[in-house]
Structure 1
Amino acid sequence: MAGEKSEEDTVSEYLGQNPELAQWVDTFRSYSESNKQWVARREFLLRNMEAFPTLEHGVPSSSLDRLLSLSMVWANNVFLGCCYPQAVMDKIKEMGDGIVVQDAPVHKTTKDGIQGRGKRSATTEGESDSGGKRAKSSRKSGPLPQAPAEYQPFFNRLYKAVAWKLVSAGGFGPNLDHFEILRSCVESCKETMACVYVPLKDITGLPAGRTQKEGHVCEIRCQTVYIGTGYGRDEAAAKAMASKEALKVFQGRKVTVKICKRKYNGKDVEDLVLLDEQPRSPGFPPALSYPFQDEQLEEGSS
């Protein structure tokens, strides 16, 4: 109907009436986000702030970290077709219900991965993707061969930020707030991290001795690149251990983004991984999320 406000107009009007909130929220925009992606993720953040009662404007907190992580997971699913554990997918679907994304990609999902994507004029999160013809994606499975070189400049900047932060903190040690150091450095480079949590009992292919234990696993990514996995009695402990493992990568003379083989849903996939120069035992923890279209997964299940 003519004269009817769009959701984007309503959000803009609300932010115009709350300039301090607008300025604070804009600090969460990632360096690599397009206007369309940021407008959608900003609405996700604003809609869900009230669901985190301990969140305070302008104050870093675990609630804020949780909301930011969920917003990145939601955006990665909507715009990139990233797959996450079902509990995570259910959570972001609920949180994103009602958000309209203009010309959003449409992803055809199989049991094991993403087959392809097309576009539609507008979609509301929670709307069914069943039915209709879907455009076949021409993108190859896994990360593109040139991806490591594209991501390397960002991680070079992040390496310098982490190095200076650790120097000011007196060096790497067990008493550091590893997540806070990593989070502040990533945000200083105009990015945010995505954390995915899964109960230990739901993960296959874990290292020996962990499969029978209670607790959670946390995987941390930044710009779709895997940087660390941690195990703990709860989500907070798992996140702390994942952050500690991630910071260890920054202890060498440099960090390098490489394409490596990992296990996802029991199958070998190529993933972008941040590495240092230290020799490592072969293999990586199984991936909890996979941010790349992978047609081989579907072929393997057919």
Structure 2
Amino acid sequence: MIWGLAIFAVLAAGVTAHIRATDLSRRFEALRAEASAQPLAKEATLTEDAIAHLPPPVRRYLALTGSVGRPVVTEIVMRFDGTMFAAPGAVGMTGPVVQYERFDWPTRLFLMSTRMKGLPVKVLHHFDRGEATMRVRLGGLFDVVDLGGPDLTRTETVTILNDLAFFAPSRLTDPRLTWTEIDDRRAAVYFTLGPNTVSAELIFNDADELIDFVSEDRGMLDKDGSLRILRWTTPLGDYRDFGGWRLASEGDAIWHLPEGPFRYGHLRLTHYEAR
């Protein structure tokens, strides 16, 4: 998902702009075409035996989502209605979000279009086989945020784990994941991707739905361009059917600041396709 766009606070702070010529929407489509052109490996059907090693609440969640008995998901395309907040109490900035992701490489592309103070703003996240970048473009010409590097890559690795848990649950058997059972409604998961191992606690309700994802490994972008590690949670709910997949369709992204929780994002899933 989008999770992590405290970058709008950086926009409001007036980070030095640099002129760029390429529209981020066109860049998104070019990168998506390049990634999706790579052949997908044929994935095995997810069986009860394949999930037997998982903690009980995770096994029940996989059954709920319709993952058992279907091929493991490798590639997803999603669309959301999004609202982002630059600061606690700020007016929300709304706009469409499109996301493309495949988990075998892995590759993740996220594009949001919105407006700030009357000017168009586009945000592009790109994760490609172990390297993450993030760009925010104002007015179609100026990059007010242009980030990369190992800290961002680690942060976006947490985002991929979040996407995997909520939107590609059949991949919770991925060999890059290891698990610790906590109790009947919670499980801890560890995700190793390249040099990074990140973790989260998954929380389930009495209906076996995944309702929250809690990580201590994700960085919030500060005004000076650095990433500050904070507790990050994504409470989601309103489970709906998307082509036979039962998935959470709406929820929030929250940074847990020293002064209290800051709900900086809200998303509603409007379109989902997987293969």
Instruction: Give the number of the structure whose alpha-carbon radius of gyration is greater.
Output: 1
Q: Relative contact order, CA 8 A, sep 6+: which one is greater?
A: 2
User: Between Structure 1 and Structure 2, which shows a larger proportion of strand residues?
Assistant: 2
The TM-score range, normalised by the shorter chain, is under 0.3
TM-score, normalised by the number of residues in structure 1: 0.21
